[in-house]
Amino acid sequence: MKTLARRAETVAWESETKARIAELKYAFYLIRQNPLVLSGLVLVVFFISLSLIATLLVNPVDAVKLDFARSYCWDSRLYSWTPQEASCPTGTNYILGTDGFGRDLLSMIILAIPLDLSIALVVVAIATAIGVLLGSVAGWVGGKFDEAVLRVTDIFLSFPSMVLALVFAALFGHTIQTLTFAVVLVWWPTYVRLTRGQVLGEKEKPYVDALKNLGASPARIVLFHIIPNSIYPVIVQMSLDIGGVILNFSALIFLGFSPSPTLPELGNLAADGINRVFTAPWLIVFPGLTILVIALAFNFVGDGVRDILDPRLRR
């Protein structure tokens, strides 16, 4: 109660509330206007919720229960793959068929989603953090530091992404952690470049001069003004990268760097399917589709988030 009362005493409380409500209304308007963003948002929420309750839906014990008798079978009433049909033993109901270990593919996908999502989010978060930090300092400070950062970035970028990750994985083993780090190595340079470019542009703008004139320290200017204004392309890049990271990670696993052959991971599942495209196509189709949908969903949301957050793009 006391805080509420104090709140009401705040200067211009009504104006502030009115303005905040107007902002929210505008955000909703934008989302409504853009069906892609809306669908993306719905899907992202869906996937995240799914990840949170995954262990409730599927007993993880099942993940390890191998039953070779039921491998690669398809029994769903939804669709029949011809000509090669491998029917499952009766009494089972595998909606999406089974994988090489006889496990229900749908359950595996449900278990894989949280794994892939969390890895993707971690990779993107780390890459962004390194990238934005380095990029903004390099862009602001310029000179030799900037040159050095640019060269290092160039070196990393000149490697084909897979080669870099492969070398790292080969050297440091293939646990999930090392694989994650391998992927980070591939993705961070782009963020440096992006941020640096934006910072170079922003620092020439008059409002930066005005801030300097008002006595603001460089740290303050960079942290509170330049970085927030440079972040928009980074956000879009982040949303695009989620899909890309999953693919990258999956590819690594596919190439044989899998921590364990039974790991429920979308790439792992799909890898098995590559050799059986005609005999068991569901193994590659469904995990692949899942990756696609996740990537698209984040992509759409990324667009929308940028539109909402960037005041310059409005009205």
Partner 1 sequence: MAEEFLVVEDLKTWFPIRSGLLQRTSGYVKAVDGVDLTLRRGETYGLVGESGSGKTTLGKSVLRLIEPTSGTVVLDGTDVTKASKRELKKLRRRMQMIFQDPYASLDPRETVGATLSEPMRIHHIVSSRNEALKQSKELLLRVGLNEEHLFRFPHEFSGGQRQRIAVARALAVDPDFIVLDEPTSFLDVSVQAQVLDLLKTLQKELGLTYVFISHNLSVVHYMSNRVGVMYLGKLVEDAPREVLYKSPEHPYTYFLMSAIPVPDPEFKKETKLLTGDVPSPVNIPPGCRFHPRCPYVTDRCKTGEVPYYVGKGPHHNVVCHYNIDFERNMQTPRPEPIVAKPMAS
Contact residues: partner 1, CB under 8 A: 9-12, 15-16, 18-20, 205-207, 209-216, 220, 225, 228-229, 311-312, 314-315
Instruction: Give me the least distance between CB of 2 and partner 1, in Å please.
Output: 15
CB–CB of 155/148 below 8 Å?
no
How far apart (Å, rounded) are the C-alpha atoms in residues 90 and 82?
A: 19
Return the number of other C-beta atoms located less than 10 Å from residue 78's C-beta. 7
Q: 97: alpha, beta or left, given left = phi > 0 and alpha = psi -120 to 50?
A: left
Smaller CB separation from partner 1, 225 or 276: 225
Instruction: Give me the least distance between CB of 212 and partner 1, in Å please.
Output: 6
Instruction: Give me the least distance between CB of 308 and partner 1, in Å please.
Output: 13
Smaller CB separation from partner 1, 2 or 315: 315
Q: Euclidean distance between the first and final Cα of the chain, in Å? A: 38
Smaller CB separation from partner 1, 65 or 205: 205
Instruction: Give me the least distance between CB of 77 and partner 1, in Å please.
Output: 55
Smaller CB separation from partner 1, 12 or 61: 12
Instruction: Give me the least distance between CB of 81 and partner 1, in Å please.
Output: 54
Q: Fill in the amino acid letter for 298.
A: F
Smaller CB separation from partner 1, 83 or 215: 215
Instruction: Give me the least distance between CB of 20 and partner 1, in Å please.
Output: 7
Smaller CB separation from partner 1, 11 or 78: 11
Smaller CB separation from partner 1, 165 or 221: 221
Smaller CB separation from partner 1, 16 or 62: 16
Instruction: Give me the least distance between CB of 159 and partner 1, in Å please.
Output: 27
Instruction: Give me the least distance between CB of 232 and partner 1, in Å please.
Output: 10
User: Measuring CA to CA, which residue among 144, 127, 146, 126 is closest to residue 136?
Assistant: 146
Smaller CB separation from partner 1, 19 or 53: 19
Any idea what the Cα angle at residue 270 is, between residues 265 and 272, rounded to 5°?
Answer: 105
Instruction: Give me the least distance between CB of 19 and partner 1, in Å please.
Output: 3
